[in-house]
Structure 1
Amino acid sequence: MARRRLLLLLKPFDVYPTCPSDGVTNPKTSFLLKTLQVLSYLDNRRSVHKDAINFCQNVLRKKLVDCIPVFRSNLSQPIRGVDLVITVGGDGTLLQASHLMDDSIPVLGVNSDPTQVKEVEEFIDKFDATRSTGYLCAATVKNFEHKLDEILQGRTVPSEVSRMSICVNSELLSTYALNDVLVAHPCPATVSRFSFRIKKDCVSRSPLVNCRSSGLRVSTAAGSTAAMLSAGGFSMPILSKDLQYIVREPISPRADISNLMHGIVQSEETMESTWYCQEGLIYIDGSHIVHSIQHGDMVELSSKAPILKVFLPRHLQS
């Protein structure tokens, strides 16, 4: 078996606040006690994540691979010249990797710090003890070596997950969305004004819809279980190539278009939206990648984008 080149993309440690070294050894108020409990919980998350990184690296040292470890905060160039990307963190780390990947390299996500149900129940009246969801992550430390062996020995193949392309005034943005796109005013208290219609081959498939709302969210199938679901959307089969959209908090939509506030953009269709505020932002897969737009700009969204090869959890493959 030929030696493989792997990129190990790591969630950094500095996302977790640490307990103060001098501490508050005798907290006298419930507030201080709760603060220490939260900091202790975050410190444990940092420790668990660090242990997961060490575990994965120790496993990789035993394999016929050349491994390049990089913290995700230190990676900004397109990923090239490797046979596999392994992300260690959660969905956020896998999302960041996807923004730098084309359709030629597969990715395996390792959830380094899965949520512990008993822990969530224990602290439910004190704070949110939810850890990492890892929806797209096929591995944890418990099954990482087994999953890696399956990949290296060719006993499993990645799934082809659809992404979303974004064009502004007919110019394609360099980043493809794996989860979702939010088009909105920079100030959440300001009304977002825009119109949209759905087209296929330059022919309208829907009427022009004029909106005043809190913005427009469009998701892929992979992103349909995230913010889209929370906003009232529905989960889609993970391998669907359709997009789902929802107008956020529409202001008094006309009766004849109210059913168009939420719908599907089929794989062969494009959503065209024109922005009518002085300023606006396109958020791609969260808040880290943002593109500015202004009055009159046209935003086109479609699934005509390179797929991402992802080794998915088994329950998502069925």
Structure 2
Amino acid sequence: MARRKLLLFLKPFDVYPASQSNSRSRFTNNPQILHYLDDRLKVHKEAISFCQKILQKKSVDWEPIFRNKLSQPIRDVDLVVTVGGDGTLLQASHLIDDSVPILGVNSDPTQAEEVQEYCGEFDATRSTGYLCAANVKNFEQILDSILEGQTVPSKLSRMSICINLKLLSTYALNDILIAHPCPATVSRFSFKIKRGDQPCSPLVNCRSSGLRVSTAAGSTAAMLSAGGFAMPILSQDLQYMVREPISPGAAVSGLMHGLITSDQSMDLSWFGKEGLIYVDGSHVFYPVQNGDTIEISSRAPVLPVFLPSPLLSENKLPGC
């Protein structure tokens, strides 16, 4: 049997403010914060070292790479292991098709007692790791289960985006935001929901701060914070919400927030001078201009992800 090939996809160290000399000076008056940030960097480094030691014990070939050093599609590996948090897993997902499974290792999980201890001083929240099935405590156990074929990945829906009928190379695992580059500028656009060539909704004309569309995996992130609802993690539907609609009566029209089912798509026309489509956060974005058309649907390659057991048990959430 051929040896398995793994890629260890790592969150870099330079994202921690305490690791940069120009940032450390900002915290000289509060050594407690500086010590906290130093500790976060130390914990992350230790998690990487731990995962590497575990891999060295296994009959696998593996290669470590920091996520800021890779921009080409990931191919010819049997498993991608991300060490960081959800952001690291999201970035890896942009480089993976539906043939390579991914396992997320949360390198620095939030500690509830620590958040409570420092709540009067600063936000001590660490990594959420919503999609990460592993941490340093259970990494070897979960890895062994995967290598032995006892655990199979779940198939998470992703979102495809076409601009002027051209499919973007990036699929969204969490959500997209379509808005003006300046958040204080009004966005003007219209949209309708379609099934095939047949409209399922009237044309909706919007003046607002933009439009957000999420997958099921992203429905517990910004969408939920904005007043949306959590969807079952394995749902193939998309959820959309017009952000801060301006038109009188728009908020009660019933069309500012809804679902795009797996057999439907959203056709959107952009009427602003300029705009951006942000994919899974602020790091990946595509420009749009006045008159551009955008098609959004869940007709995208799924992403095989080894999910935390509690997340799978919540797959019966109502509302979808």
Q: So what's the TM-score if we normalise by structure 2?
A: 0.94
Rate the CA distance shift 1:124–1:61 in 2: closer, same or farther, 3 A: same
Q: 1:254-269, aligned counterparts within 5 Å?
A: 254=249, 258-269=253-264
Match of 1:61 among 56, 59, 68: 56
Distance between the aligned counterparts of 2:228 and 2:29, measured in 1?
Answer: 35
Give per-residue Cα distances to partners, 1:81-115, cap 9 Å, x unaligned.
00000000000000000000000000000000000
Q: Report the Cα offset of residue 35 of structure 1.
A: 2.9
Rate the CA distance shift 1:252–1:47 in 2: closer, same or farther, 3 A: same
The question of whether the paired residues in 2 share the 8 Å contact of 1:99 and 1:177 is answered with: yes
Distance between the aligned counterparts of 1:287 and 1:123, measured in 2?
Answer: 28
- Structure 1 residue aligned with 2:170: 175
| Number of residue-to-residue matches in the alignment | 313
- Structure 1 residue aligned with 2:149: 154
- Structure 1 residue aligned with 2:46: 51
The question of whether the paired residues in 2 share the 8 Å contact of 1:34 and 1:126 is answered with: no
Three-state SS of the structure 2 residue aligned to 1:55 is: helix
Q: Report the Cα offset of residue 283 of structure 1.
A: 0.2
Match of 2:186 among 173, 186, 191: 191
For the pair 1:4 / 2:9, whether they are aligned, the reply is: no
Q: Report the Cα offset of residue 13 of structure 1.
A: 0.3
Equivalent residue letter for 1:142: K
Which consecutive unaligned segments of at least 5 residues does structure 1 have?
Answer: 25-30
- Structure 1 residue aligned with 2:16: 16
Q: Report the Cα offset of residue 252 of structure 1.
A: 2.9
Give per-residue Cα distances to partners, 1:145-200, cap 9 Å, x unaligned.
00000000000100000000000011000000000000000000000100010000
Match of 2:137 among 134, 137, 142: 142
For the pair 1:271 / 2:252, whether they are aligned, the reply is: no
Rate the CA distance shift 1:129–1:34 in 2: closer, same or farther, 3 A: farther
Distance between the aligned counterparts of 1:20 and 1:62, measured in 2?
Answer: 34
Match of 1:42 among 12, 33, 37: 37
Equivalent residue letter for 2:5: R
- Structure 1 residue aligned with 2:200: 205
Rate the CA distance shift 1:111–1:103 in 2: closer, same or farther, 3 A: same
For the pair 1:111 / 2:106, whether they are aligned, the reply is: yes
- Structure 2 residue aligned with 1:227: 222
Q: Report the Cα offset of residue 37 of structure 1.
A: 1.7
- Structure 1 residue aligned with 2:316: none
For the pair 1:79 / 2:74, whether they are aligned, the reply is: yes
Q: Report the Cα offset of residue 253 of structure 1.
A: 4.2
Q: Percent identity?
A: 69
Rate the CA distance shift 1:123–1:58 in 2: closer, same or farther, 3 A: same
For the pair 1:244 / 2:278, whether they are aligned, the reply is: no
The question of whether the paired residues in 1 share the 8 Å contact of 2:176 and 2:279 is answered with: yes
The question of whether the paired residues in 2 share the 8 Å contact of 1:199 and 1:270 is answered with: yes
The question of whether the paired residues in 2 share the 8 Å contact of 1:5 and 1:82 is answered with: yes
Q: Report the Cα offset of residue 34 of structure 1.
A: 5.8
Three-state SS of the structure 1 residue aligned to 2:213 is: strand
Distance between the aligned counterparts of 2:29 and 2:234, measured in 1?
Answer: 43
The question of whether the paired residues in 2 share the 8 Å contact of 1:209 and 1:257 is answered with: no
The question of whether the paired residues in 1 share the 8 Å contact of 2:27 and 2:34 is answered with: no
Equivalent residue letter for 2:119: I
Rate the CA distance shift 1:191–1:255 in 2: closer, same or farther, 3 A: closer
Equivalent residue letter for 2:286: H
Equivalent residue letter for 2:9: L
Distance between the aligned counterparts of 1:220 and 1:145, measured in 2?
Answer: 30
The question of whether the paired residues in 2 share the 8 Å contact of 1:19 and 1:36 is answered with: no
Equivalent residue letter for 1:199: K
